[in-house]
Amino acid sequence: MSGDYSTLGPSQRAGAEYAIQEINNSDDYSYELEPVYYDTETTASAGSQAAQQAIQEDGADYLVGAISSSVALGLNELAASEETVYFAGGAAVPITGEQCNEWVFRFETNTAQVAEAISGYTVENIGSNVWFHYADYAYGTSVYNRTSMRMEEASADFSEIGQTSSSLGASNYESYITQIGNSDANVAVLGMTGGDLVTFVNQAADRGLTEDVALVAPTMAYKSTRAGTGSNSVGTFGGVRYDPSIDIGDNQAFVDGFQSEYDELPGSYERTGYGSVRLIAKGMERAGSTDPAEVRDTLEGGEFTTVLGDITLRETDRQATNPAWIAELTEGDGDSADVDILSKTEGADALRPASEFGCELN
């Protein structure tokens, strides 16, 4: 839980911890889960090593987590070679795309699903002169590729005004902000997460860019982004993978329970941790076994009720068919902005065929 994603890891873990507590205290589940926690340090080597320690020393049969795409891809291979079920915590497309394998599932909504939800709405309702800025790594380029492709398909008015990229973890975005401000763009799509996005939005607001150009980012509405940007993110738009206010599936029970335990509302990462662990438990229940291979076969293609409604872990790539939303960030009561949902894309529409992402499992 350190490294570039040190903000997000602990949230995912809190969700997983809460799920384990709920499962172990509940009569609905006949198995008790024994958790062990390790820190991937956001590097592939530490991540793989920690997971191997969990498997070989602690005897873990199920893995959950890792937000960084590189760490997750390492765990993909590890899960296949050790034959453990792995629920990936990252949103990078290749995890259930080109690098998919039968042991890897994902309850996290992937980048392509969110891109689907924001692209059409943005270009039709917010603005069609779009500037793309992304952090130059797998996640950033995948946001750029998917949103620009989907926007092009969605509207004939779409025009790509320009694109820039910065290195991951860059700390100064003023030069890009100036370029965007001086162009004809009325929308800027940002393919960045965590600290990069927070810094970008804060500097953009200081420069007055947020008044002239609508900033749209798949992760803008995330709790951590909103906390880091304060009122600076008001008036921006974001993809929503999850929001505690959504009345869908058994979300309200989760929100109430989590809130009484931790005294705060769960965010998207808490939801991923919680949902992933619970899917494993449900898989065990349905399979009547804790054997990873049997649970894997039950999960594959299975339909489950989750905090995101009824979803399927698709047979073809083991990706959950989550719905996704686009929202505007509005003035909130506290320090951070509120999320005002504008439009929903249903699970079936948000997820394109697995073959498009390079995964053909069945």
Which residues here bind other proteins, judged by CB under 8 A?
Answer: 1-2, 4, 6-7, 10, 38-39, 42-46, 48-49, 52-53, 55-57, 69-70, 73-78, 81, 92, 94, 99, 136-138, 141, 164, 166-169, 171-172, 174-176, 178-179, 181-183, 194-195, 198-199, 202-203, 205-208, 224, 227-230
Length of the chain: 362
**Cα torsion at 133, 231, 221, 173 (round to 10°)?**
20
Whose Cβ is closer to other proteins: residue 82's or residue 243's? 82
Minimum distance from residue 48 beta carbon to other proteins (Å)? 5
Minimum distance from residue 287 beta carbon to other proteins (Å)? 26
Minimum distance from residue 83 beta carbon to other proteins (Å)? 13
Rounded distance, CA 51 to CA 25, Å? 26
Rounded distance, CA 278 to CA 108, Å? 13
Separation of CA 308 from chain center = 13
Whose Cβ is closer to other proteins: residue 206's or residue 346's? 206
Whose Cβ is closer to other proteins: residue 76's or residue 119's? 76
Rounded distance, CA 215 to CA 235, Å? 8
For residues 65 and 12, the answer to whether their CB atoms sit within 8 Å is yes
Minimum distance from residue 77 beta carbon to other proteins (Å)? 4
If phi > 0 it is left, if psi is from -120 to 50 it is alpha, else beta; for residue 3 that is left
Minimum distance from residue 145 beta carbon to other proteins (Å)? 13
Minimum distance from residue 189 beta carbon to other proteins (Å)? 17
Planar angle of CA 318, 323, 328, nearest 5 degrees: 140
Whose Cβ is closer to other proteins: residue 44's or residue 279's? 44
Planar angle of CA 147, 126, 216, nearest 5 degrees: 50
**Cα torsion at 216, 218, 220, 224 (round to 10°)?**
-170
Whose Cβ is closer to other proteins: residue 122's or residue 129's? 129
Whose Cβ is closer to other proteins: residue 53's or residue 355's? 53
Across-strand partners of 327?
238, 341
Minimum distance from residue 16 beta carbon to other proteins (Å)? 16
Minimum distance from residue 39 beta carbon to other proteins (Å)? 7
Minimum distance from residue 345 beta carbon to other proteins (Å)? 27
If phi > 0 it is left, if psi is from -120 to 50 it is alpha, else beta; for residue 295 that is alpha
Across-strand partners of 240?
325
Whose Cβ is closer to other proteins: residue 5's or residue 237's? 5
Whose Cβ is closer to other proteins: residue 184's or residue 247's? 184
Strand order in the sheet with 159-166: 159-166, 129-135, 187-191, 214-217, 237-240, 324-330, 338-345
For residues 111 and 83, the answer to whether their CB atoms sit within 8 Å is no
Q: Which two tokens stand for residue 76?
A: 């993909």
Collapsed DSSP state (helix, strand, coil) of residue 9: helix
Whose Cβ is closer to other proteins: residue 5's or residue 107's? 5
